[in-house]
Amino acid sequence: MIAVLIAGAVAMFLSLFGTRGLIAFFDRLGKGQPILGSEDHGPVHHMKKQGTATMGGLAIMVSGFFGWLAAHIRGGIALSDQAMIMWAGCAILATMGFLDDYLKVRKSHNRGIFWKKKGFITFGLVLCITTWLLLGTGVSETLSFTRFNFPGWNLSPVLWVVWTALMVWATTNAVNVTDGLDGLAAGSALFGFLAFTVISYWAFRNPDVYHLVNPLDLAVFSAAMAGACGGFLWWNAAPARIFMGDVGALGIGAALGLLAVTTNTHMLLPLICALNVMEAGSVAVQMTVFKASGRKKRLFRMSPIHHHFELLGWPETTVIIRFWIMSGICVAIAVGLFIADFTHIADNFAGR
What is the per-residue pLDDT across 235-275, written as a single tens digit (0 to 9) for each?
999 899 999 999 999 999 999 999 999 999 999 999 999 99
162 Cα distance to chain centroid: 19
CA angle 136, 63, 34 (to 5 degrees): 105
Spatial CB neighbours of 195, under 8 Å, sequence gap ≥ 6: 272, 331, 334, 335
What is the per-residue pLDDT across 304-335, written as a single tens digit (0 to 9) for each?
999 899 889 999 999 999 999 999 999 999 99
Q: What count of other Cβ atoms lies within 10 Å of the Cβ of residue 137? A: 18
Rounded to whole angstroms, the maximal C-alpha distance in the chain is 67
Whether 151 is in a domain gets the answer: yes
Whether 62 is in a domain gets the answer: yes
Distance, in Å, from the CA atom of 233 to the CA atom of 109, rounded to the nearest integer, reads 25
- State the average pLDDT over residues 104-114: 68
Q: What count of other Cβ atoms lies within 10 Å of the Cβ of residue 244? A: 33
Residue 50 is which amino acid? Q
Whether 116 is in a domain gets the answer: yes
Whether 325 is in a domain gets the answer: no
Distance, in Å, from the CA atom of 62 to the CA atom of 228, rounded to the nearest integer, reads 9
Residue 130: per-residue pLDDT: 95
Residue 81: per-residue pLDDT: 92
Cis peptide before 157 (omega within 30 of 0): no
Whether 282 is in a domain gets the answer: no
Query: pLDDT category, 118, cuts 50, 70, 90?
Result: confident
Residue 47: per-residue pLDDT: 64
Q: Helix, strand or coil for residue 153?
A: strand
Residue 199 is which amino acid? I
Whether 206 is in a domain gets the answer: yes
Whether 106 is in a domain gets the answer: yes
The total number of structural domains in the chain stands at: 1
Global pTM?
0.93
120 is in which domain, residue-wise?
2-277
Q: Do the Cβ atoms of 191 and 328 come closer than 8 Å?
A: yes
Q: What crossing angle do the helices spanning 184-205 and 274-292 adopt, rounded to 10°? A: 130
Segments in 114-214 forming alpha helices (H) = 118-136, 157-178, 184-205, 207-210
Residue 74: per-residue pLDDT: 79
What is the per-residue pLDDT across 187-246, written as a single tens digit (0 to 9) for each?
999 999 999 999 999 999 999 899 898 999 999 999 999 999 999 999 999 899 999 999
Q: Which of 228, 187, 218 is nearest to 63 (CA)?
A: 228
Whether 300 is in a domain gets the answer: no
Query: pLDDT category, 100, cuts 50, 70, 90?
Result: confident
Residue 50: per-residue pLDDT: 73
Residue 283: per-residue pLDDT: 92
